[in-house]
Structure 1
Amino acid sequence: MDLAALRKSPLALAAAFCSAVTLHSGLAHADIVADGTTATTVDRIGGAEVVNIARPSAGGVSHNTFDRFSVGTEGAVINNSRVDGSSALAGALSANPNLADGTARIILNEVTSNRRSDLNGTTELFGDNARYILANPNGITCDGCGFIRTPTAVGDAGTRLQEVLLSTAVPGLDALDGATIRLTVDRNNTAQLVIGAGGLDASNVDITTLLTRQASVNGLVEALGGQLQLYAGAGEMTVADGAATTWQPDPAAGGRDVSVAIDASAAGAMHAGQIFILATDAGTGVSLPTDLLASGDIEITAAGGLVYRDARSQAGDVRIGTTAAGADLASDGLTQAAGDVVLAADGDVQAAQLRADGDVAATSRSGRLTAGAVTAGGAVDLAAQDDLAYGSAEARGGDVTVGTTDARAGIRTTGSTVAAGDVTWQISGEAAQITDGPGQLSAGGAINLHCAAGDGACRVVSQRDLTLAAGTLNTQADIETAAGRDLTIQADLDSGRRLDSGGDLRIAAAAGDIRSTGSLRAAGDLTLVTAAGAQLILDGSLVTGGELYLQGDGSYRHDATGTQQIGGQRHIDLYELINQDVLADLADGTLRVSRLDNQGLIENQGALRLQVDERFDNSGLIVSLEGAVDIGHRLPGEATGQIYNSGLITALDLTNNQLGQSGMILDPSDLVMAHTRAILDGRQRSAAELAREIQDANARLIAELNLDEAVTGVVGIQAERLTQTGTGRISGSDVDLEVGTLTNQGGQITAGRNLSITGEVLGNANAAPYYGVISAGRRLQATLGQRIDNSGLIEGGNVILDAPVINNTGGGWTPAAPAGGVIDTAGYLDALGGQAWFAQSGGDYRHILRLLYDNDLLVSDPTRLTRAFLDAGGIRLGPDAQLAGDDVYLAELLMHTLRAQGGMAFATGDRNGLGQLSTLYANTRAYMEATGLAFGQLPDSSQRAAVRAPVLVFAPQAQADGRTLYVPRLLLPEADGGLQQQAERLSAQIVAQENLFLKGETITNRDADLLAGDNLVIEAVDLNISGRQRDWYVDADGQVRYRTAQIAAGNDVVVQLSGRYVQDGAQVLAGN
């Protein structure tokens, strides 16, 4: 049906109506004339014509036939009274003499001539109530007509008529029961039922029915408080006493001679309690460009196209639709209901505004759907086969569901979509577009974006900023915004699709997880906000041209599952972060969390600040390049709750292209012991000589490792409790620990220059298979409010320990010296190389230090020791050869292998990996020169017997790529007491290269050493020193001597006590 033709048709019909009025203008004062075939009589009383209806049949039907039946402005009275009374139109009126046996229940007035009926006045039903039917197959015009009732029976106060039925049908009365009337509208009858400008007043009628093939409405039809029914089409209506009216349309009627079944002008409004309009002839349209207002339901159905303006129900539903194939439905006004609004058509559906307190549903079964603003107190359901477009949709008490079914169809909206429940888009085509307006999808439940063809088969594209707000976003569609336009998602997310913002991208979880296995892309910044107790899972790709913000009260596991490209920096402010990969781009070098579990690498080029409120677990690597590491609480003045470190925390400053000395331990105990033995043997030795030996040894190591005094890397930690175990290491040029309780169980805390420890309790102990070390190259100061317990190694240039209780106790576990044999590192290559701080290279060195090689600002050479070794032997690696790794990797590999086999980390007298590697290279060069062993060869038995000190040999391994990988093996001489004695001395020693100062209330030294290269000062109330163990040895002169617990200094030992002094089996030695 052509909707444009429907919109124009009132003008044509208005012209036809005017012609009809002209033809019958002579009937302005027409009377009512019975045709004489019934006992019906007509009188004029008081200006009004009074019709005494015929005697009713046994079924209660009074059938009256007329040659002419029109009602003038004076009105007409239908007399259905058995008693006298007063008529509203005729005045005093006598009873109808035809009703001696009873009044009629149905009054049928039939026009048998070819004259139309013009109803220009009021028809009054006088007497008992009845159903009133006027049937004129020639046509009926109602122009100012109306219907009233005047009761006459005692006790009858009702003034409303049961029903008024105006019809252009041919009536027939069932002869068998006399109670059933069949009104037949012939398919060839084109007579019109016209409502003129004067309108139809049925406000006193319960049911008003208009039955015709064609209706023209140009005036107000008012049936307030009642039901208005308009049937347009060929067929048969059955009216029976005591039964509901039924309608059977003629299926073969089609649109013969009629294209528009119901045509109204703008003035042809309909106001009723309920409105029911049905046009049944196939292909005939309905045009209602007017106001339809009902207190109850409005229902309109057409077999052709349907056009209307406004349809409003104050307390019921509005249901409007077309039934024929391809029939369109259009409204350019407001469709509103206190209940539901339902629009349905096989063709296109257009609706300007849809509003309901209940649900709104609009469906185009085979065409397009176009809607403006759609608002529902319940749910909204918009569906089309072809394209679907709407302005805005709001479901205040339910879901919004929008969907298409054709593979070429698209969805387009220019406004917001809001639902108290879910928002669901079923996208059958390639794209759904948001072209204008606020660009918002908001749901109290979930947002579901489904692609009919499966995941990734469709897109949601916004030309404006787009916001998706819901409890959960489930999308099979890619979502993207135009260049410069932001995408905001406020919902829990589980997406395997592409979310692409031409501007900023922000995803904030409602209460659950954010999971992306697809891609997140932002031309600007990308922000992810987690919910409390929920997770952020990024297993896909992430690309942002700007900054990356990770925020909220949830947890994020950063691993290598996905890929991330960040144009700016990474801002992290979360409840929990679990890092299993590399974080090397923190904004301002700052990370803010309540809980941090680092199993990978966190590094920054500059200062690195880890603000951790509750707990920090580190089994990975924390590194600052060219700066410092600061670990503490997010709030100033507060401290991290607990720190557990089994990894490495270090700060490096390599501005002079030097490898920093962090983690390097220079142990002067060998020199101190040699100095002490010389004194015991009676040889003259001075403290100055000892200091000079220590200084020279330190200078040699520094020169060998190419250290620089200008290194300034700083590590600062503030925590309530710091526990370090096993492989844990904290190192920097300067280290400052403000910790309530510091427990170092087999770990290493080292400062190239100064180390400061403040708090309440310090515990340092060996823990098999690791030894506990706290060391500073220059100054080590520990000030504790309660106690210091040491059974490991505490050493520094100058050492100051201040605590009420200081216990230095030996006799616990000590490392075992490596036994003679071969230590093969091949089985540990991949385990170490897979750690986050190493990367694989295709160059001469397979495993390289990621920190240096990935940093364009650093030009340090972490292969210097190895290259020097190769160059000294004239060794050249060919293009098909590769070493296992660079200096740092090889140093770690050797320590890792020794530890894994249950012994000391060192087979030499060194206390650091690079120092050990340097010593091993020096031993190996001498060994290769002495034995003639070539690089890449394994020694024979005679060469093996010549090993006098730990050396390295490199075993060749063929690789899948055809290259040869050279893997180090450590060859050890037969075990000797010197190496084991060195290992044992790592147990319970406090050593100062220069001065050692201990201050406390109670100081205990049991089976342990307090050693100072220069002076040793003790200030205490009580001092207890004891040595229950003795180590026997033979000196250079063949004398048998022993060593036990010692307090020794190269110069003076000064003890100031105010309480008790107990010495049992220990030695106190002084150079002076």
Structure 2
Amino acid sequence: MPVMNSHSYQVVFNRARGLQMAVAEHVASQGKPRGVRAARSACSLLATMRVLDFSILLSLGLVIDLAQAQIVPDLGAPRDQQSTVLNAANGVPLINIQAPNAGGVSRNTYKQFDVGHRGVILNNASAHTQTQLGGWVQGNPWLVNGTARVILNEINASHPSQLRGYMEVAGERAHVVVANPAGISCDGCGFINANRVTLTTGAPIMNGGNLDGYRVQQGAVTITGGGLDASRADYTDIIARSVRLNAGLWAQQLRVTTGANQVSASQSVVDPIATDSNVPAFALDVGQLGGMYAQKIVLLGTEHGVGMRNAGQIGASAGELVVTADGRLENSGALQASTDTRLNVGGGVANSGTISAGRELVLDTPKDLDNRGGTLNAMRLEVNADSVTNRGGAMEQTGAQDLVVRAAQVHNREDGRIGQAGADADAATTPGHDGLSGMNVLGDSGAVPLVAGALNVTHILDNDGGRVMAKGAIDLTAHAGLDNEGGHLGVRDLNVKGGDLVNRLGALYVTGSHQLQLGALQNETGQMQLAGPLTLNAQSFDNRAGQLVVAGGDNRLEAKNALDNSRGGQIVSDGALHIRANTLKNAQGRVQQACGGHLQIEVPQLEGVGGTLVSDGVLTLISNRADLRGGLTQAKQIHVDTDTLITAEGMLHGSGAGMLELKVRDVLDNAHGAIHGNGAMTLQTQQLINERGRISAAGTHDTQVDIADQLNNTNGQLVAAGNATVKARDLRNQGGMIRTKGRSNLDVSVGGTLDNRAQGTLAADGALSVTASTVDNRRGKLIGVHGLRVTSTTLDNREDGLVSATESHLKVDSQGHIHNAGGTLQAAGELSLDSTDLDNTDGAIRGSQVKLDTRQAALNNTGGTLMSHRRSPRREQWRTGITPAG
């Protein structure tokens, strides 16, 4: 490394310092040293030099020729602000800064301050010292009373300072300030041995010898080419009206303040001031080749309406990045921090690049956030804006913390993503599913717990074709509707109050609570998976080919108009489910309640052709008209209260031991259908149509069928394992069967006609009791295994009709005729007939004991058989008009 005066120097004793030191050859060994007085300037020193001495300094290259110099002191400034500009031995400019004041500030004023590629040395050494740029340099004679804490380089020029090399502080580290209101241009500049660096276009404000701050009215700091290296300084400050970067800036802790301001030296106080100068287009403008690289970065823009633009890289590698701007922030590059990134922007944010944080990203603006094609990325993400547009963009969580978005409107269309980084929304098939991996940003910030998140939209959330999938807890509140058509939305709590919720072809997952008060809920071919309890109020609910799954809780769905669950729609809940609507359309749809709860449906109209209603517990259906044709209705316990119930070609199944209760005020149509219960069964209706249908009760509980008008069981079946009671005004059982099993009794009571023709069967494994005004049993069967009693006005048992008590007694009480021509009346026990007329032509009357009472009317037994199993029937028990032949 070159040594100063390596060929022309001498060693003399300096009395003031009490040591030997190297000096120029012309310096005398004894006498009063020059430069001891702090008030003496370089100009006065040179002026008192002998002409021969000055010429020798010039010949040795130790003094710069002012005509050729790039650093020119301002000779019009006070003498104690005029530094001495020399050269080190290797030709690098050496500035003997002025003596510091009582506050430790060395104030140096220049008419020109340009630094070349070789750099410049600011001599803050009181003794000779080693430097990186100039090797050994002599001590600064102005510093006999101490070194400077702050080296203020104040430039009074009409043109910007050109800094193209390094500025090195020789000796004690100091705060280096370069202040030029005309501007500063840095191309390959840097700083060595400075503890703090300030580049400013403000005028320094001195107060009592202290540097209080800067008054900025104009000027730009521009960084190009080789950039700015302040990485060896602890702090770097740039204070200017505007800042432009098209190269890199490296620092430890960087703070940039822009705008017309009065700024304190520490930048802790920034007061905007009025100015008449031209307003810059951008307070901070970072080009594609530009960048800021520091451990911590703070960017502040105060000028009203003036924004920031970044197309480069701004990264805080070991701390936070803070950006505050009064105007709009435009970012097509990268804004990154290893810990937190905080943006407070008055004029909105347009981001087509990346804004990220290793821990928490907070973005606040009273205007819009336009993130089209951009990325917001952090472990925890918080956005507060008037509106958010995220079309094709990504607002990503990289950790398990929460997401907060508050805006009047959120547009997340065209594959926009909000929530989990790299989320595959199709992987989420149940509420709370998490098959997603996170991303890393600039480093590990540690596992720090953060508060719960929220997505609060005061107007409408438009997630058409977008994705919102939160890794942590997120609460979504949309005050004027939610559009998730073709989108994927996964949140913890969901609150939508007002407006429509559109989820056509979409997927909506909620793991927490939800309050839905909607205009229309449109879930056609969509998927909604929610954790209960659910409260949903809507004007209408379209779930055609859609899916609504609710896990747990007491859940309520209410639609003032129609709830359309047709075309394969599914509503599934494993908690209690209560549905109220003007109309429930469930044709080919499915409503299912699991896990032993209660499914209650209250609708004036239920259109459920081919649909399914299933409960693992109790099903209650209250309706004016319920059309369940071709469908399945199943529960362990069923209660139906309706005007009209149609189960034709379908199945209504009480699968448990609970009661199956059907109260139908008009018509119950089960033609070709099936009604089955395992417990007690009660059917109460005005008219029952069971033509080719089957009604069965498998349990040993009682079955009651109470029909106010007609029971049509033509070719149908009504079977009970327990005792059964059937009541009707008229009973049509042609080709049908009504029976009980397992020694159970059957009681059939008909106010009018019991039509049991054409192989109709009334049978009981226990006792059978039949009461009717007219019993038409032609080619029919009345069978009571353990007893049979028929009470009627007329019994017509002709044409192979059979009335039989197979193991017990038979009693027929007829107030009119008994027509048994070609029929059979028989009993294993006693047979008792009581009528006003008995026609047994070609018929058979048999019993262990036969009792006949025709009230002295005729008995026609032509070709008939009247037989007692005893050898000699007692005729006195035959009260007839003639003696029968037999």
Secondary structure in 1 aligned to 2:744? strand
In the alignment, is the contact (CA less than 8 A) between 2:540 and 2:559 conserved in 1? Answer: no
Alpha-carbon offset, residue 200 of structure 1? 0.8
Q: Write out aligned runs for 1:657-806 (5 A).
A: 713-717=692-696, 719-725=698-704, 727=706, 732-733=713-714, 739=720, 741-744=721-724, 751-753=733-735, 755=737, 757=739, 759-763=741-745, 788=766, 798=781
Residue 350 (structure 1) shift? 2.3
Task: Assess, with a 3 A threshold, how the Cα gap between structure 1 residues 270 and 1055 changes in structure 2: closer, same or farther.
Answer: farther
Residue 138 (str. 1) matches residue 175 (str. 2):
no
Tell whether the 8 Å contact from 2:611 to 2:632 is kept in structure 1 after alignment: no
Q: Does 1:518 align with 2:560?
A: yes
Q: Name which of 653, 672, 685 aligns with 1:611.
A: 653
Match of 2:403 in 1: 379
The answer as to 2:341 corresponding to 1:318 is yes
Contact 2:628 2:647 in 1 (8 A): no
Q: Which amino acid aligns with 2:742?
A: E
Q: Deviations over 1:797-818 (max 9, x none)?
A: 655556xxx5x699xxx9xxxx
The reply on whether 1:620 has 2:660 as its aligned counterpart is no
Distance 1:291 1:392 in 2: 24
Give the superposition deviation at 1:181. 0.8
Partner of 1:260: 282
Equivalent pair of 1:384/1:403 in contact (CA under 8 Å): yes
- Counterpart among 466, 472, 477 of residue 415 in structure 1: 466
For residues 909 and 90 of structure 1, do their structure 2 counterparts lie closer, same or farther at Cα, with a shift above 3 Å needed?
A: same
- The match for 2:376 is 355
Question: Given the superposition, is the C-alpha separation of residues 505 and 117 from structure 1 closer, same or farther in structure 2, using an over 3 Å criterion?
Answer: same
Structure 1 pair 206–1015 and aligned structure 2 pair: CA distance change class (3 A) = farther
2:824 to 960, 983, 994: 994
**Which string of whole-angstrom CA distances, capped at 9 and with x for unpartnered residues, describes residues 136-177 of structure 1?**
23322111112233xxxxxxxxxxx532111122223322xx
Say if 2:227 and 2:247, in contact at 8 Å, map to a contact too.
yes
* 1:197 aligns to 2:225 (yes or no): yes
1:715 & 1:349 partners in 2: Cα distance? 65
Task: Say if 2:432 is the partner of 1:392.
Answer: no
Shift of 1:203: 2.0
Q: 1:533 to 1:229 in 2, by over 3 A?
A: closer
Q: Work out the percentage of aligned pairs sharing the same amino acid.
A: 20
Gaps in structure 2 of 5+ consecutive residues: 1-65, 421-450, 797-811, 817-821, 858-863, 872-876
Equivalent residues in 2 for 1:897-912 (5 A)?
A: 909=793
Which residue among 863, 867, 872 is the counterpart of 1:1052? 867
Residue in 1 aligned with 2:51? none
1:915-994 equivalence runs, <5 A = 994=824
Cα shift at 1:537? 1.3
Deviation at 1:93, TM superposition (A): 4.7
CA contact (8 A) 1:466 1:481 kept: no
Counterpart of 2:335, as a letter, is R
User: What displacement does 1:195 show?
Assistant: 0.8
Q: Per residue, is there more helix in 1 or in 2?
A: 1
CA distance in 1, matches of 2:354, 2:259: 27
The verdict on how the C-alpha distance between 1:277 and 1:911 changes in structure 2, with shifts beyond 3 A counting, is: farther
Distance 1:910 1:302, change over 3 A: farther
Work out the CA distance in 2 between the residues paired with 1:75 and 1:754. 113
Cα gap change, 1:714 to 1:763, in 2 (>3 Å):
same
Cα RMSD, aligned residues only: 5.1
Match of residue 297, structure 2, among 272, 275, 290: 275
**CA contact under 8 A between 2:585 and 2:607: conserved in structure 1?**
yes
Unaligned runs of 5+ residues in structure 1 are: 1-25, 150-160, 452-457, 633-639, 654-711, 815-905, 913-980, 986-991, 1019-1024, 1028-1032, 1038-1048, 1057-1066
* 2:202 corresponds to 1:169: yes
Partners of 1:776 and 1:301 in 2: how far apart? 92
Residue equivalent to 1:449 = 496
Aligned mates of 1:780, 1:374 — CA distance in 2? 73
1:67 to partner: Cα distance: 4.5
- How far residue 209 of structure 1 moved from its aligned partner, in angstroms, is 0.6
**Distance in structure 1 (CA, Å) of the matches to 2:783 and 2:316:** 95
Name the stretch that deviates more: 571-580 or 204-213: 571-580
2:105 equivalent to 1:70: no
Q: Deviations over 1:810-854 (max 9, x none)?
A: 9xxx9xxxxxxxxxxxxxxxxxxxxxxxxxxxxxxxxxxxxxxxx
Question: In the alignment, which residue of structure 1 is the partner of 2:38?
Answer: none
Q: Give the conservation status (yes or no) of the 8 Å contact 1:486–1:505.
A: yes
Could you say if the C-alpha distance between residues 128 and 1053 of structure 1 is closer, same or farther in structure 2, counting changes exceeding 3 Å?
A: farther
How far did residue 291 of structure 1 move? Answer: 2.2
Inter-CA distance 172–735: structure 2 relative to 1 (3 Å threshold) = closer
Alpha-carbon distance in structure 2 between the residues aligned to 1:523 and 1:610: 19
Contact 1:79 1:95 in 2 (8 A): yes
> 2:356 — aligned with what?
336
- Of 38-47 and 258-267, the range deviating more from structure 2: 38-47
Equivalent of 1:120, from 150, 157, 164?
Answer: 164
1:124 to partner: Cα distance: 2.7
Quick check: 1:306 aligned with 2:136? no
2:591 counterpart residue number: 550
- The Cα shift of 1:531 comes to 0.8
Q: CA deviation at 1:596?
A: 1.9
Matched, 1:237 2:263: yes
Change (3 A) 1:230 1:391: farther
Which structure's relative contact order is higher, taking Cα pairs within 8 Å and 6+ residues apart? 1
User: How far does the alpha carbon of each residue in 1:578-625 deviate from its partner, in whole angstroms, 9 at most, with x for none?
Assistant: 233355633425434343223336655854532331134224359776
After TM superposition, the score normalised by the length of structure 1 is 0.57
Give deviations 1:232-285, integer Å, cap 9, x for gaps.
12222223xxxx443333332366454433333221222222222222232434
Write the distance in 2 (CA, Å) between the matches of 1:781 and 1:387.
69
In structure 1, distance between residues paired with 2:521 and 2:738: 54
**1:426 to partner: Cα distance:** 2.7
Residue 437 (structure 2) aligns with: none
Pick one of 211, 218, 221 that aligns with 1:181: 211
Provide the secondary structure at the position in 2 that maps to 1:202.
strand
Local SS of the residue matching 1:580: strand
Evaluate the alpha carbon distance shift between residue 733 and residue 565 of structure 1 in structure 2; reply closer, same or farther with a 3 A threshold. closer
CA distance, structure 2, for counterparts of residue 331 and residue 30 of structure 1: 42
Whole-Å Cα distance in 2 between the matches of residues 737 and 136 of structure 1? 105
Contact conserved, 1:423 with 1:441, CA < 8 A, in 2?
no
Aligned to 1:217: 245
Q: Deviations over 1:553-580 (max 9, x none)?
A: 3644445x544567x6544344443233
Structure 2 CA distance for aligned equivalents of residues 330 and 713 of structure 1: 71
Question: Whole-Å Cα distance in 2 between the matches of residues 238 and 276 of structure 1?
Answer: 15
Question: Out of 311, 320, 327, which is 1:289 matched to?
Answer: 311
Shift of 1:212: 1.3
2:100 alignment counterpart:
56
Say how many residue pairs are matched.
Answer: 718
Distance in 2 (alpha carbons) for counterparts of 1:219 and 1:518: 64
- Which residue does 1:206 correspond to in 2? 234
Contact 1:255/1:284 (8 A) holds in 2: no
CA distance, structure 1, for counterparts of residue 93 and residue 80 of structure 2: 19
2:723 partner letter: T
CA contact (8 A) 1:363 1:384 kept: no
Larger strand fraction of residues:
2
Q: C-alpha deviations, 1:906-931, integer Å up to 9, x for none?
A: 9x84799xxxxxxxxxxxxxxxxxxx
Contact 1:368/1:385, CA 8 A, preserved across alignment: yes
Cα distance in 2 for residues equivalent to 1:911 and 1:277 = 105
Cα pair distance change 1:911/1:182, threshold 3 Å: farther
